[in-house]
Amino acid sequence: MYALRMSNLPPYLFARIDEMKAEQQKKGVDIIDLGVGDPDLATPPHIVESLCQAAKNPENHHYPSYVGMPAYRSAVADWYKQRFGVTLDAGKEVVALMGSKDGIAHIAEAFVNPGDYVLAPSPGYPVYRTGTLFAEGRVHEMPLTRKNNFIPVLADIPKDVAKNAKIIYINYPNNPTAAIAPDGFYREVVDFAADNDIVVVSDNAYSEIAFDGYRAPSFLETKGAMDVGIEMHSLSKTYNMTGWRIGMAVGNTEILAGLGRVKTNVDSGVFNAVQHAAITALRGSQDCVKEACAIYQERRDVLITGMRSLGFDVPTPKATFYVWVPVNDCMAFSAKLLNEAGIVATPGVGFGASGEGYVRFAITRPVARINEAIERMRRLNL
Ligand SMILES: *Cc1c(COP(=O)(O)O)cnc(C)c1O
């Protein structure tokens, strides 16, 4: 019944974990879910209020513009200027997205012919791969390993692959490894992309979730980046707005026009009232972001201290709300946590073959629950 390409789509691991979780819940187990990367914190009230007001205005009830309201695109451009020192032309270098997943899932359609390569990190956000498969491209995995500080080694990409690659995905601060981009990495990416005529797609969804004073850069800060790439960003993680579906693609005009042309044919833009709320988020006080980071930082410290006390060799992440923990067999480890301790953690292999040997904990639950998870793990004698 289904098309062939459906069989190429990876099994949706999160759906399988949900099934296992439901089985445990049916037995009455009190589940501690550290699996899914969705903040447990509420969207700040001033943003919610802005949506309520905008939703009452009939002017906002029509089809939105495909690329986003001018006022939203200006707010994005001003935020990029203020936050990263990157100058964007709001009219040509900013496109509204229904969350960054929208841009990531669709961009390959604009640039990839059947059989072309797409370079994607492994482990990595699964949509880099599925977007490529829908465009009938071939994924070349760039392994992120502890030895390489979870940074792809561009020199390891075979010349013939690089020559036939159309897109390279990079994602720092990184999901799932929580790694950050070292100085000089984006310079290397720009040169590599220019040499091989490859579109760079930087996924910067976690730039604002950072600790210990770390400030994540934008890929577009690097000289020449605007010539070769775009950045996908989103309000989802920054303002606890995962359910609202709003993000942005910014950068090279021609690349954005390709993405925009695909999107014009598959969706009709973001609800204007949501764009108004997003303007409030971007232009308003950023104290709410600081407060969220302080909460995540405390949870991070509780989790890594606890994991170390159990004998796990965990580095201290500088950004994202994930902790990437080395284990022996990730599937067996996750299954044991869920079935014997009621704890959900995501097996690394769900993010690609090079994720084997790790599980990802999302610190999207309160400190008391993280402490409870540590105590349950202590009783398991892992
Ligand atoms: C959450 C996430 C996204 C997408 O989030 P949206 O809600 O679609 O903006 C993109 N990339 C990574 C790495 C993520 O973790």
pLDDT at 193 over 70: yes
Specify the pLDDT at position 6. Answer: 85
pLDDT at 230 over 70: yes
pLDDT at 285 over 80: yes
Same domain, 331 and 262: no
Specify the pLDDT at position 245. Answer: 98
- Pocket around ligand 1 at a 6 A CB cut-off: 37, 99-101, 125, 171, 175, 203, 205, 234, 236-237, 242, 247
For the packed helices 70-84 and 272-283, what is the interaxial angle rounded to 10 degrees? Answer: 30
Indicate the top mutation candidate among 236, 239, 322 to test ligand 1's pocket, ranked by most ligand atoms within 8 A of CB.
236
Same domain, 201 and 314: no
Report how many domains make up the chain.
2
Q: Give the pLDDT confidence of 259-273 residue by residue, as tens digits.
A: 999 999 999 999 999
Question: Which atom of ligand 1 has the smallest separation from the CA of 104?
Answer: 10
Answer with the one of 283, 306, 336 that is the final residue of a domain: 283
Same domain, 184 and 165: yes
pLDDT at 282 over 90: yes
Cα(205) to centroid of ligand 1, in Å? Answer: 6
Same domain, 326 and 274: no
CA-nearest residue for atom 2, ligand 1, is 205
pLDDT at 36 over 90: no
Indicate the top mutation candidate among 203, 232, 250, 274 to test ligand 1's pocket, ranked by most ligand atoms within 8 A of CB.
203
- pTM, whole model, 2 decimals? 0.97
List Cα–Cα distances, 32 to 78, 344, 350, in angstroms: 40, 6, 19
**Mean pLDDT value of segment 37-48:** 97
Mean of per-residue pLDDT scores for the chain: 96
Per-residue confidence at 13, pLDDT binned at 50, 70, 90?
confident
Per-residue confidence at 382, pLDDT binned at 50, 70, 90?
confident
Specify the pLDDT at position 9. Answer: 80
Same domain, 293 and 278: no
Q: Give the pLDDT confidence of 129-161 residue by residue, as tens digits.
A: 999 999 999 999 999 999 999 999 999 999 999
CB–CB of 90/73 below 8 Å?
Answer: yes
CA torsion through residues 21, 24, 30, 32, sign: negative
Answer with the one of 283, 301, 322 that is the final residue of a domain: 283
Indicate the top mutation candidate among 237, 239, 240, 360 to test ligand 1's pocket, ranked by most ligand atoms within 8 A of CB.
237
Answer with the one of 233, 267, 283 that is the final residue of a domain: 283
pLDDT at 10 over 80: no
Cα(148) to centroid of ligand 1, in Å? Answer: 24
Q: Give the pLDDT confidence of 62-111 residue by residue, as tens digits.
A: 999 999 999 999 999 999 999 999 999 999 999 999 999 999 999 999 99
Cα(102) to centroid of ligand 1, in Å? Answer: 9
Cα(176) to centroid of ligand 1, in Å? Answer: 11
Question: Other C-beta atoms within 10 Å of 311: how many?
Answer: 7
Q: Which domain holds residue 107?
A: 45-283
Alpha helices for the chain (secondary structure H): 4-8, 13-26, 45-55, 70-84, 100-111, 127-134, 159-163, 185-196, 225-228, 253-266, 272-283, 287-309, 330-341, 367-380
Tokens of 262: 């695909």
Same domain, 120 and 189: yes
Name the residue among 124, 84, 172 with its Cα closest to residue 349: 124
Same domain, 26 and 54: no
Specify the pLDDT at position 381. Answer: 83
**Mean pLDDT value of segment 216-229:** 98
CATH number of the domain that 154 lies in? Answer: 3.40.640.10
Name the residue among 143, 152, 141 with its Cα closest to residue 118: 141
**Mean pLDDT value of segment 154-182:** 98
Tokens of 59: 């002017």
CB–CB of 258/86 below 8 Å?
Answer: no
CA-nearest residue for atom 14, ligand 1, is 205
Same domain, 169 and 223: yes
Burial status of residue 103 (CB atoms within 10 A of its CB: 0-12, 13-18, 19 or more): buried
Which residues, 6 or more positions from 42, have their beta carbon under 8 angstroms from its beta carbon? 48, 240
Same domain, 78 and 205: yes
Same domain, 158 and 101: yes
Cα(30) to centroid of ligand 1, in Å? Answer: 28
pLDDT at 299 over 80: yes
Question: Which atom of ligand 1 has the smallest separation from the CA of 233?
Answer: 9
Same domain, 172 and 305: no
CATH number of the domain that 296 lies in? Answer: 3.90.1150.10
Per-residue confidence at 17, pLDDT binned at 50, 70, 90?
confident
**Mean pLDDT value of segment 310-318:** 97
Name the residue among 350, 36, 96 with its Cα closest to residue 246: 96
Indicate the top mutation candidate among 175, 230, 239, 360 to test ligand 1's pocket, ranked by most ligand atoms within 8 A of CB.
175
Same domain, 232 and 366: no
Specify the pLDDT at position 7. Answer: 82
Per-residue confidence at 12, pLDDT binned at 50, 70, 90?
low
List Cα–Cα distances, 2 to 6, 129, 131, 290, in angstroms: 6, 19, 18, 47
